[in-house]
Amino acid sequence: MQAARGFTGFNRLRRDGLTYGEVVYDKERHDANDKTIFGVTGKFGYDSVSPFHEDGETLASDARDTGGGIVALTLAQRPVEASRFVCRKLARFLLYDEPHDVVVDEMASDLRAANWNLKPVLERVLKSKAFFSLAARKAQIKSPVEYSVQILRSTGIPLRETLLRVTTESMGQALLDPPDVNGWPGGSSWLGSQASLARIDFLRIVIAGLNDVPTQVDPLLPPVGQRTPAEIVDHLADLLDVQLPADARTSYIAYVTQQKVGDSIVPFPFDPLNPEHRRMKTRGLLYMIGQHHDGQRQ
């Protein structure tokens, strides 16, 4: 409660009935009375919310002076635990969902040594072996927004903003409306049975946008003369950033050259010069490759 009083007066910018992301400070709405936080008494005004001194570099030691800050005072209580908490979140975002304690501890030590300046910590992580390791490749499950936007950008297929909002919400991520202050849980929770079905439904909606004109799929295909079934499959997999195992690749190639008639699978005379053939098989491949488990990760 005492710390919350120190942050009074801060709000998001509102103008002409709209709310913006920019944070502004209204001195008239700040509680200017003394507050006691972790045994330190002071007014904790606008300046002392910042964790840094006026030079913007060194962490303030006295929370009551200009730039001392509630944040600095909080970090000083349990610096090891606080640095681990921050760095575990960074490691989960930059490396993989379950970072090793050794990696987190090294980052946390660097953060404390850098006086809580994140820049050198980030530089070290982005140049580290862990960042470029196989363990970090496709180690995170895409959120609904990441999954949807990646497909739309990769394919260039247009989708109305309202429809994107509705579909991502059905996958479990309502834009700008997390379930609580911790945000979304992420990880494997994104791929529950209902959420997975919603991703498939999203693909169906997106691919339906290719129904109108057969040649709409042409920008998604490799150049003319390089449109064998194998080349088309490989190109679309690259487009969606999906690394196909050999058995899946073989199955998708077979899809291009086969069709189902009744209960039987019979040869299909795929002709890459036939616009309708291209439309039909490209749509089907996008639908299948977009569901592949490798495409759910980043």
- Tell me: the pLDDT tens digits for 7-41? 888 788 888 877 777 777 788 888 888 888 888 88
The pLDDT, as a whole number, for residue 38 is 84
Q: Would you give the distance in Å from CA 159 to the centre of its chain? A: 19
Averaging pLDDT over each range in 5-14, 75-84, 203-212, which range is the top one? Answer: 75-84
- Please give the Cα distance from 266 to 112 (Å, whole number): 66
The pLDDT confidence band at residue 226, using thresholds 50, 70 and 90, is: very high
User: Residue with structure tokens 């739309």?
Assistant: 152
The pLDDT, as a whole number, for residue 64 is 42
- Please give the Cα distance from 86 to 78 (Å, whole number): 12
- Please give the Cα distance from 258 to 244 (Å, whole number): 20
| Residues in CB range of 174: below 8 A, 6 or more apart | 165, 168
Structure tokens at 136: 């970090």
Surface-to-core class of residue 213, CB atoms within 10 Å of its CB (0-12 exposed, 13-18 middle, 19+ buried): exposed
The pLDDT, as a whole number, for residue 5 is 86
Instruction: Work out the average pLDDT over 261-289.
Output: 95
Crossing angle of helices 118-126/101-113, nearest 10°?
A: 140
Q: Are strands 40-42 and 258-261 parallel, antiparallel or unpaired?
A: unpaired
The pLDDT, as a whole number, for residue 213 is 61
